Amino acid sequence: MRARQSLYFLVLAASFGLSACGPKAFTKGEYDDPTRVELLDDKFNEADMQSMADTMVKSMVACPEIDKAAQRPVVIVDGVKNNTEEHIDMQSLTDKIRTALIKTRRVKFVDKEARGTLDEEYRYNEAGNVAKEKAKKRGKQTGADYVLRGAMATNIQQVGNDKFIYYKLTMNLTNLESSEIDCTEEKELRKKYRRRSIGL
């Protein structure tokens, strides 16, 4: 009887041990401050994105061609190239810059990505599906004055246990009529990491 009880407790303890070694899920969470800077790893993070976006927006609205414009210039986004070896969400970076610029009320944007949908809606209106007095017609879209484009570059150096990561974002506002770059800005970030041994 005693041997059987000992075997039962041994099996029970083993089952608990196996469950403890199994995969773990994140089950408890809390809201965090997205503006707080925490370098959890050596990747491009949301603090880097916010810092770069802030610099670009302040520079663009201070640019004389934008600041002294009689009417709010209209901008179209061409995109920001990722010339790094790291996966960086350039769309999120571009969206953040565009959103902040719109909120300044200094520029307007036309939506390049919506053109296919707009064309489809024009055809739907022209097919007689919409009341004449409410149908939207072609030829009334606003033309862009500027093209917003840029590129992200990086340089990585390792010296012993130290790793240095350098990022540079360059963005330009190109005049659509003259093809001249009226506004440009660079934002540089440099971060240092130290390799540490991980104990068991």
Residue 16 lies in a domain: no
Residue 114 lies in a domain: yes
Residue 178 CB coordination number (10 Å): 8
Structural domain that includes position 156: 43-194
In the chain, how many domains are there?
1
Asked if pLDDT for residue 192 goes beyond 70, the answer is yes
Residue 65 lies in a domain: yes
Structure tokens at 173: 């506002």
- Which positions ≥6 away from 195 have C-beta within 8 Å? 161, 162, 163
pLDDT, tens only, 59-86? 999 999 999 999 999 999 998 999 999 9
Residue 147 lies in a domain: yes
Residue 185 lies in a domain: yes
| CATH assignment of the domain containing 105 | 3.40.50.10610
What is the reported pTM?
Answer: 0.76
Report the pLDDT value the prediction gives residue 148, as an integer from 0 to 100: 97
Lowest mean pLDDT among 58-67, 110-119, 129-138, 186-195: 186-195
d(CA 49, CA 148) in angstroms, rounded, equals 17
Residue 36 lies in a domain: no
**Mean pLDDT of all residues in 94-118:** 96
Residue 93 lies in a domain: yes
Residue 179 lies in a domain: yes
